[in-house]
Chain A
Amino acid sequence: MIALLRRDLLLAVRAGGGFGLGLAFFLILCVLVPFGVGPAPATLAKIAPGILWVGALLACLLSLDRIFQLDAEDGTLDLLATSPLPLEGSASVKALAHWLTTGLPLTLAAAPLGLLLNLPAQATPWLVAGLALGTPALSVIGTFGAALTVGLKRGGLLISLLVLPLYMPTLLFGAEAARRGAEGLDATTPLFLMAGITAGTIALMPFASAAALRMNLR
């Protein structure tokens, strides 16, 4: 399992685009928004938590179809399925690798990008904490979406349609926490609720992902 994680990270680094692409997209989105809504600091400060969360979510979405697609195309997935590793474990490891290459860098980049969008300083800790707690759920749920569409030629678009409704609760609590933080309120309640969702998805979604993979390999 650790070998698989190391291999996935190695591939993400060597193949290029693994780390960089999501981050670059996140940055571009945060640069584009002020062009779209105007540079007024008050407006930006108000929508910054939402923009950062939606941006993180979309950046996460970008690399989802690569989680299993490449392995399925070159036959590695068949070999992994026949290996002693349980498919549930492989799915968890893949999700972890996806989080390390997208969710984690996005979380780290959120604070400086928040400055760019005039995010109130008191909201930044809440935003970063929210992303740190929420992005693992995005990766795990995304892995499920990738497992569902692994056999399809044009899975990328379908993944978005399948996965985005599932992201709804996480997005909602995450953005709510950042918004409450911006207003100087206590945001622990939405954070706890989101952490609950993350814990639940990490525990259960790999089983659904593995089931979907098995169905697709048939």
Chain B
Amino acid sequence: MYYTAQHLACARGDRTVISGVGFQLRSGQALILRGPNGSGKTTLLRCLAGLTPAVAGSISFSPDEVAYAAHADGLKAQMSVAETLQFWAKVFGARDVTPAIEGFALEPLLNRRVHTLSAGQKRRLSLSRLVLTGRKLWALDEPTVSLDMQAVAQFAGAVTTHLTQGGAAIIATHIDLGLPEAEQLDITPFRATAQTDTDPFLDEALL
């Protein structure tokens, strides 16, 4: 199973941020997106997740195969950890929440309300949702923010498990997760500068 994108251009708001991006990823492989802040990593991931339509180019997979984890945790302070997991399990039609609990060591937190969790614990809960989606391709935006060394290792373990089970992952991150066979993609060169082809208001004849 291959996941490919070709000549992809993605926009945020009115502006095309990146263009000409392409990659090929097979099951069991991870792709690490590199690039400084503002280089378009988030925009690319949102595009792959189907939240913004691509301006140009083609994607070989459907957004329904992508599990997206954003910067924001998407958690409700008033709900308990167990309630949160059960809610998302129902939304994604997952029967069992135990893999998520085990993968991210949430067992001792189950009955706590989310607002009593630390930032790192919230992050773990948020990431555990990926397991519940049952989707093959994970699109992760800075997943290790506010995780400590141990939790990062745990997260890397969860990603590795996902990869060995035939999944794939696209991860925007600055740190080294030590994933086997991970491929790097620096998206800095794809930053869109000339928008002439996409923006009719930049026509030079227009006065």
Contacts and interface: CB of A to CB of B under 8 A. Distances in A.
Interface in B12-43: 13
A75 interface: yes
B74 interface: yes
Interface stretch (A3-11, A61-69, A164-172, A192-200): A3-11
A42 to B, nearest CB: 47
Given A3-B87, A81-B51, A82-B63, A75 B70 contact: yes
Given A79-B68, A82-B49, A11 B91 contact: no
- The DSSP consensus for interface residues of chain B is loop
A10 B64 CA distance: 28
Residue among A14, A15, A78 having the largest count of chain B Cβ atoms under 10 Å: A78
A80 B90 CA distance: 12
Interface in B127-157: 129, 133
Interface string A74-86: 1110111111110
B75 interface: yes
A11 B78 contact: yes
B74 A85 contact: no
A74 B72 contact: yes
Interface in B83-136: 83, 86-88, 90-93, 129, 133
Contacts of A4: 87, 91
B78 to A, nearest CB: 4
Interface in B41-68: 46, 49-53, 63-64, 66-68
A198 B68 CA distance: 36
B78 A15 contact: yes
Given A75-B73, A78-B68, A10 B52 contact: no
Given A7-B79, A217-B52, A218-B53, A79 B74 contact: yes
Nearest to A90: B91
B73 A82 contact: no
A49 B163 CA distance: 64
B74 A76 contact: yes
A74 B52 contact: no
Given A3-B90, A82-B63, A10 B78 contact: yes
A78 B90 contact: no
Contacts of B64: 84
B87 A7 contact: yes
Contacts of A6: 87
B91 A82 contact: no
B76 interface: yes
Interface string A33-44: 000000000000
Contacts of B68: 78-79, 82
B174 interface: no
Interface of B: 13, 46, 49-53, 63-64, 66-68, 70-76, 78-79, 83, 86-88, 90-93, 129, 133
9 tightest Cβ-Cβ pairs between the two chains A and B: A75-B72, A3-B90, A75-B74, A14-B78, A76-B74, A79-B74, A82-B68, A218-B52, A83-B91
Interface of A: 2-4, 6-7, 10-11, 14-15, 73-76, 78-85, 217-218
6 contacts: A7-B79, A78-B74, A79-B74, A82-B68, A83-B92, A85-B91
